[in-house]
Structure 1
Amino acid sequence: MATQIFGTRTDAEDVVQEAWIRLDRWGAEDIENLGGWLTRVVGRICLDVLRRRTSRGETALDIWEADVVLTDDHPGPEEAATQSDSLGLALLIVLDSLRPEERFAFVLHDLFAVPFSEIAAIIGRSSEAAKMAASRARRKVRDVPVPTGDLTERREVVDAFLSAARDGDFDALLHVLDPNVTWHRCSMRGHTVELGANEVLAAVRRGDPGKIEARRISVNGEPGIFVSTTGGQPLGLMSCTVAEGKMVDIVSIIDPKRLGHMEIPFLRGPSDR
């Protein structure tokens, strides 16, 4: 539950550890409904963290580099289990735009079926206010593009994008890009959003295929692209949402610091070289 609320395993593990400390102090034998007690305690800790993060102007985008799960196309059982807990980067961006109470109410009710009466008690609002918070979040989350087609088809679209970019075939690029593709760029300067295939084409035109290498990689279970220098220095990571045979959403991480903390499966380890 904590992982889904935060989108980061690091924060979730800290919350669970704190919950166990409180349980040890309280005494499990004195708790009639242990599951309900843990839900309330973990929920309150999560909400407190979200509120503190908001008051400091932080977002999950500031810390998510440790939670981006990068694998090759055939992850092992442990990697697959980690992917199953991971949120897509496009969804994480939308969740980050929500108020703490909206995010909390949406995740607990829509993903874990926690009654609004219990959510209301945790956030200190009425049940009706909790319902409204979840509803506001739901409307925003509905706008997050959802992948369609099987995974093999989505990989083929990303492969076609890579091939067209290498060849400088802009007609082929337009064929795989949705005209209204949303492109999120997360750099040292923050998070920006570009709309439309022409923005992506312009970026491809500025690149020099002879000086970079790009390969398909799995990003939190979905096809993505890893870009590096020919010497292996990471330059960027793209998470691609493919629907109806087109790339409809791209999240690019081009912050060297964030890239430096990621575990790249075909490199030796964290890329802080």
Structure 2
Amino acid sequence: MSDISPADSVAEVFESQRDRLRAVAYRMLGSHADADDVVQDAWLRLSRHDPAVIHNLAGWLTTVVGRISLDVLRARRSHPEASYDDRLPELVVVADDGLAPEDDVALADSVGLALLVVLESLRPDERLAFVLHDLFAVPFVEIGQILGKSADAAKMLASRARKKVQTTERPAVAGHEQREVIQAFLTAARHGDFEDLLRVLDPDVRLTVDTPGGRIVVLGATEVAGRSRVSSGAAVRHRAVLVNGLPGIVTWREDGTPLSVLAFTVVGDRIAGITVLADQARLATMSLPDPA
């Protein structure tokens, strides 16, 4: 028997599920735009389906959103040249005024940048199993049905994904010590001091730069220090911010237009990751704090 009562319309029931479905798709895909497309696709499929034969609408919709998201992830792997993976996920940038990330509404509604980066390293089936089970408590039986696998196989995929996520050391929040490390990096980069840069960079540091032409990834302290030392000096102002919960900075040109957004993953007293958004078109559409 359907869980849609005669007093309810299919559209009303769907709208009651929309936010949750969008959250599922976003954590699967790391893109608000892609998540909206997936939810819209799910609505179109529901509108073509007889609601009388759907016994659990919430579960049915979750399954549909999961399957569509899985198809998108697999398509990205098959056609990387057209993949969203060539761009950074959406970034939530707020002024770092000492507010704990969990106290900020915008950040509370976002997915941590560090987690999104880890999720991108997972296989599509691992990512789906982890997101649906660990973040949304979907039973492994249902996850297995989406993947065409047994519940035990789905459980194994989630376990494998969980280990990858847990072994990625949690970055520190933007405390005083972390800001000192970041300031030391910025000072060394501004002065072109290669040795000082090496002192604050983890040997396996990862630099990810989002440009109009796509994503550029640089690995290793020597390479990242070299890039940082010769980086553009066009920025004349900067401000400490939180970028999806990570400590970062926004830089501006002399005319007040934003130049870049940087987020730092600080582990101990070293920088383990730097994410840079330097795409002027994307920067122009973002809500950024005013220069300090």
- Scaled by the length of structure 2, the TM-score of the pair is 0.73
1:47–1:204 distance in 2 versus 1, CA, 3 Å: closer
Structure with larger Rg: 2
Counterpart position of 1:205? 229
1:88 aligns with 2:112: yes
Q: Find the counterpart in structure 2 of residue 224 from structure 1.
A: 248
Compare relative contact order (CA 8 Å, sep 6+) and give the higher one, 1 or 2. Answer: 1
CA contact under 8 A between 1:61 and 1:93: conserved in structure 2? Answer: no
Structure 2 distance, partners of 1:245, 1:136, is 29
- Select between 232-241 and 27-36 the one with higher mean Cα deviation: 27-36
- Offset of residue 236 of structure 1: 2.9
- How far is 1:145 from its partner? 4.0
Where do 5+ consecutive residues of structure 2 fail to align?
Answer: 1-23
What amino acid does structure 1 have at the position aligned with 2:129?
A
Deviation at 1:241, TM superposition (A): 0.7
SS in 1 for 2:66: helix
Q: Secondary structure at the match of 1:212?
A: coil
Note the C-alpha offset of 1:20. Answer: 4.5
Whether 2:153 is the aligned partner of 1:129: answer yes
Corresponding residue for residue 37 of structure 2: 14
Alignment CA distance shift 1:109-1:249 (3 Å)? same
CA shift, 1:247, in A, is 1.5
Within 2, Cα distance between the matches of 1:63 and 1:204? 21
For the pair 1:45 / 2:68, whether they are aligned, the reply is yes
Counting aligned pairs with the same residue, the percent is: 48
Conserved? CA contact 2:264–2:273, under 8 Å: yes
Once residues 9 and 2 of structure 1 are traced to their aligned partners in structure 2, the CA distance between those partners, rounded to angstroms, is 8
Alpha carbon RMSD of aligned pairs, Å?
3.5
Show the counterpart of 1:193: 217
Deviations 1:94-122 (A, max 9, x none): 43343322221121122223222110111
Bigger shift: residues 242-251 or 165-174: 165-174
Aligned match of 1:270: none
TM-score by length of 1: 0.77
Query: Counterpart in 1 of 2:96?
Result: 73
Q: Is the CA contact 2:192–2:230 (under 8 Å) kept in the aligned structure 1?
A: no
Structure 1 gap segments, 5+ residues each:
268-273
Match of 2:137? 113
The reply on whether 1:240 has 2:264 as its aligned counterpart is yes
Q: Is 1:35 aligned to residue 35 of structure 2?
A: no
Cα distance, 1:136–1:124 mapped onto 2, change above 3 Å: same
Change in CA separation of 1:107 and 1:208 when aligned onto 2, cut-off 3 Å? closer
